[in-house]
């Protein structure tokens, strides 16, 4: 990448979205892990891994039960979407050698969180879109850590997957130097101009979370690196990674204008039978935001099933 392009791309992007948060926020490398306070005795732990240009608020309303210990990742070089909490450096943090802004780097953050934070034996790791790839990469890095962990991969980036034809058409002519210009153009346009096309039927929560997408990262370079790394990861990762997943669910939307649904489904079908595939009626890539009804109940957790 040319130096002049890099200079344009590392110009900071101001944070534009945050919510009140009660709990602890830990800085881990260039990312963060937030642990929400819960009012009841924790019965299960959910770790949420957000998607490309999203933030951890994607999961907060899906897991509101007072007995759920909710742990939320903020991927590398993304803004932490919280108000009123000072991030702390945990003693369990380990330096990460991978390149920041990549699936591999964020998988290291996830593994540090999963090995250090849950206080229950009932653990679910739920990833949306790029977050699905982060989970699979994390499992590849440390398979035994996931022996008794349930995995939910929602509209996920998968081995041998593809971007939707619509997204590919838009990205093909874009050079590195055009990114800052393109993002400024998108940010100055009302989200209604493109929202319905990519995001499907809107509701208040979708509108709230998806209208600030291009302010999620700290710089434009992270956006470019995320996209290039997603395409590269899908091309070079094969379905053998599924062999390490013991318990899990693929949630597939009825319509997806971000990722290619047919290649996602074909990849999911390469997984062993321990992974179930649920073809939802969700009308967009954002299944959880379309309706919480598609989020599996906790009876699917390994320990619950054993009980």
Residue with tokens 């991030």: 87
**How many Cα atoms are found within 13 Å in the side-chain-facing hemisphere of 150?**
25
Q: Phi-psi bin for 189: left (phi > 0), alpha (psi -120 to 50), beta? A: beta
Q: Is 284 helix (H, G, I), strand (E, B) or coil?
A: coil
Q: What is the mean pLDDT of residues 268-273?
A: 90
Q: Which domain holds residue 273?
A: 17-162+227-290
Query: What is the count of structural domains for the chain?
Result: 1
Residue 150 lies in a domain: yes
Residue 181 lies in a domain: no
For residues 185 and 182, what is the distance between their CA atoms, to the nearest angstrom? 5
Q: CATH number for the domain including 130?
A: 3.40.50.1820
Residue 207 lies in a domain: no
Residue 56 lies in a domain: yes
Going by C-beta distance under 8 Å and a sequence separation of 6 or more, which residues neighbour residue 17?
A: 55, 57, 79, 81, 209, 212, 215, 216
The confidence score (pLDDT) of residue 307 equals: 47
For residues 32 and 71, what is the distance between their CA atoms, to the nearest angstrom? 10
Residue 236 lies in a domain: yes
Residue with tokens 């649904």: 261
Residue 300 lies in a domain: no
Residue 208 lies in a domain: no
pLDDT digits (tens, 9 = 90+) for 30-65: 999 999 999 989 999 999 999 999 999 999 999 999
pTM summary value: 0.94
Residue 62 lies in a domain: yes
Count other C-beta atoms under 10 Å from residue 215's C-beta: 17
For residues 28 and 33, what is the distance between their CA atoms, to the nearest angstrom? 7
pLDDT digits (tens, 9 = 90+) for 204-261: 999 999 988 889 999 988 998 999 999 999 999 999 999 999 899 999 999 999 999 9
pLDDT digits (tens, 9 = 90+) for 57-71: 999 999 999 999 999
């Amino acid at each position: 990448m040319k130096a002049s392009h890099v200079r344009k791309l590392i110009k900071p992007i101001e944070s534009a979205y945050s919510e009140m948060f009660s709990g602890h926020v830990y800085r881990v490398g260039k990312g963060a892990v937030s642990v929400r306070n819960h009012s009841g005795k924790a019965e299960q732990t959910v770790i949420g891994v957000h998607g490309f240009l999203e933030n951890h608020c994607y999961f907060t309303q899906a897991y509101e039960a007072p007995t759920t210990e909710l742990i939320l990742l903020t991927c590398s070089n993304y803004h932490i979407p919280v108000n009123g909490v000072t991030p702390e450096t945990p003693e369990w943090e380990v330096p990460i050698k991978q390149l920041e802004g990549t699936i591999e780097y964020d998988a290291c953050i996830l593994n540090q969180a999963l090995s250090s934070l849950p206080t229950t034996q009932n653990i679910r790791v739920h990833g949306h879109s790029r977050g699905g790839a982060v989970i699979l990469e994390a499992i590849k890095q440390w398979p035994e850590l996931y022996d008794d962990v349930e995995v939910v991969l929602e509209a996920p980036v998968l081995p041998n997957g593809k971007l939707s034809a619509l997204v590919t058409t838009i990205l093909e002519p874009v050079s590195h130097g055009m990114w800052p210009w393109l993002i400024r153009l998108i940010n100055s346009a009302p989200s209604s101009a493109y929202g319905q096309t990519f995001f499907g039927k809107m509701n208040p929560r979708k509108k709230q979370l998806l209208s600030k997408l291009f302010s999620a990262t700290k710089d434009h370079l992270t956006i470019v690196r995320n996209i290039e790394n997603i395409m590269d990861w899908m091309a070079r990762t094969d379905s053998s990674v599924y062999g390490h997943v013991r318990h899990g669910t693929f949630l597939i939307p009825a319509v997806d204008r971000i990722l290619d649904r047919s290649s996602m489904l074909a990849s999911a079908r390469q997984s062993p039978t321990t992974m179930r595939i649920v073809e939802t009626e969700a009308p967009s890539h954002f299944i959880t935001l379309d309706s919480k009804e598609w989020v599996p109940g906790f009876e699917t957790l390994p320990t619950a099933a054993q009980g």
